[in-house]
Amino acid sequence: MDDDLRLARAASEAALTTEGVYALGTGRYAEAATYGPGEKVSGVVVSPDEVRVHVIVRYPPAEPLPALAERVRERVARSAGGRAAMVIVEDVEVTRDANL
């Protein structure tokens, strides 16, 4: 359980520090989070064979969405402890400096 939380925190940090990622999503039908005693990491779901990260990207994205998602996936995979990394672009967020 602690290991899952540690992985979730690392994956969350890796995703959030990727340029183009605005925030982590919380899931659509069920809350995407990893739970531990007295703590939860939103936006990351750690399962025995996979680490899934839900991201909200800035709009307009500086690069095509698949490239951005792949970059996030690579960063998350490095901290996933050998588990498969999966990235879901959950939403796009228009930021103040978007000049639309």
Partner 1 sequence: MRIFNKIVVVLLLAALTGLGLSLLVYAFNVEPYRLQDLPRAVGLDSFYENLRGYVGALEQGALDALEVATLVLITLLGLVLLVLEFKPPTPRKVRMQQGTYVTRGVVENEANMAVEQEHEVLQSNVNIQAQRKPGAKVDIRASVRPGEDTQSIQSGLRDRVQQHMSQTGIPVSNLKVQVAESDPRETKTRVK
Instruction: Give dist(CA 82, CA 68) in Å, integer.
Output: 21
Q: How far is the CB of 34 from partner 1 (least distance, A)?
A: 18
x-or-dash pattern for partner 1, window 17-36, by CB under 8 A? -----------xx-------
Closest CA to 7 of 88, 98, 79: 79
Per-residue tokens: 72: 């996030």
Task: Answer for the pair 34, 46: CB distance below 8 angstroms, yes or no.
Answer: yes
Site for partner 1 in 60-99 (CB under 8 A): 61, 63-67, 69-70, 72-73, 84-92
Give the footprint of partner 1 on this chain (CB under 8 A).
28-29, 61, 63-67, 69-70, 72-73, 84-92
